[in-house]
Amino acid sequence: MARPPQSLKTLFLCHQNHRSIQNPNPQIRNLSLSNGGEEFLQTHQQPKTQSLTQIAKEVSRVIRTQPRWEQTLLSDFLSINLFDPNFFIELWKQQNNVLLSLRFYLWLSSQRSFIPDKLACDVIFDGLVEAKAANAAKSFFTSVDFTPQPGSLKAYVRCLCENGSIEKALKVFDELQKLVICPLLETWNSALLGSVRSRRTDVVWKLYEEMMCSGVAGDVDTVEYLIQAFCIDNNVSKGFGLLRQVLEDGFVPSNVAFNKLISGFCKDRYYSRVSALLHTMIAKNRRPDIFTY
Residues 95 and 57: their CA atoms lie apart, in Å, by 8
- With 60 as the cut, is the pLDDT of residue 46 above it? no
Domain residue extents for the chain: 47-115, 140-214, 219-293
Residues 128 and 263: their CA atoms lie apart, in Å, by 38
Per-residue model confidence (pLDDT) at position 129: 93
Per-residue pLDDT tens digits for 62-89: 999 988 999 989 888 888 888 888 888 9
Query: What does the pLDDT average to over 149-158?
Result: 87
DSSP 141-176: HHHS-----HHHHHHHHHHHHHTT-HHHHHHHHHHH
Q: Which residues contact 276 (CB under 8 A, 6 or more apart)?
A: none
Per-residue model confidence (pLDDT) at position 37: 38
Q: What confidence category does residue 2 fall into, taking pLDDT thresholds of 50, 70 and 90?
A: low
Q: Dihedral through CA 266, CA 272, CA 274, CA 275, nearest 10? A: 140
- With 60 as the cut, is the pLDDT of residue 219 above it? yes
Q: Which pTM value belongs to this model?
A: 0.68
Exposed, middle or buried: residue 1 (CB in 10 Å: 0-12, 13-18, 19+)?
exposed
